[in-house]
Homo-oligomer: A and B are copies of this chain.
Amino acid sequence: MSPGRPRDPGVDRRIAQAALDLFGEAGWAGFAMEAVARRAGVGKASLYLRWNSKEALLADAVTLRMSQVADVDTGTLRGDLTELAVQMLDLYAGPGSRAALRLSLEADAIPGVAEHYAAIRLSQVLAARAIVRRGIDRGELAADAPVTLLLDTLTGGAMMHALTTPADLMASLNRDIRAHAERLVGFLLRAVATQPAGSDLATTEGNGP
């Protein structure tokens, strides 16, 4: 905790989580370096050595802790969509859920954070579209399938489920996230199925071209 200590990724990670937690609870109006330091158990001087402003700290925390929604190529549409649903449920039912909601409201007004948040949102959109494109290429999804509706209902359905789960059932949802993601995807695949969902058209990855 002495200011001169070399950087430790574990400490950076703890500080980033503390920053997101505080931002989630108090918003930008209640965000202060001193409070983050206290929450992370480090000295304020140590925080200022790493970040010279609270904008920079929050921007790094967002980048470090909130880039988890990524494109995962499992080889099937059902598998890929399930991974996406798991990541959305993790985001909105997990410890960063309040920060994620706050960002959707406040990111635009915070200098330096808006662009990081926009980049993360864009990467989520690109990952989702890549999943759909692979599904069309494999013939699991019709070329004219209602892609926007599928993705809105998948990501929105996961988000709404997490948001409307009562606090006393949240631990149980967090244990059950994969099973819920599978039910959600199974339900939505019935809406887009041109053939029975989960058909055997899937190929394994990595054996191209």
Contacts and interface: CB of A to CB of B under 8 A. Distances in A.
B156 A160 contact: yes
A158 B156 contact: yes
Contacts of A183: 146, 149
A69 B102 CA distance: 23
28 contacts: A26-B29, A27-B27, A29-B29, A29-B30, A98-B105, A101-B101, A101-B105, A105-B105, A121-B164, A146-B183, A149-B157, A149-B184, A150-B187, A152-B160, A152-B164, A153-B153, A153-B154, A153-B187, A155-B156, A156-B156, A156-B159, A159-B159, A187-B191, A188-B191, A190-B190, A190-B191, A190-B192, A191-B191
Given A125-B164, A146-B187, A148-B161, 13 more contacts: A101-B105, A146-B183, A149-B183, A149-B187, A152-B161, A153-B154, A153-B157, A153-B187, A156-B160, A156-B161, A157-B157, A159-B160, A188-B191
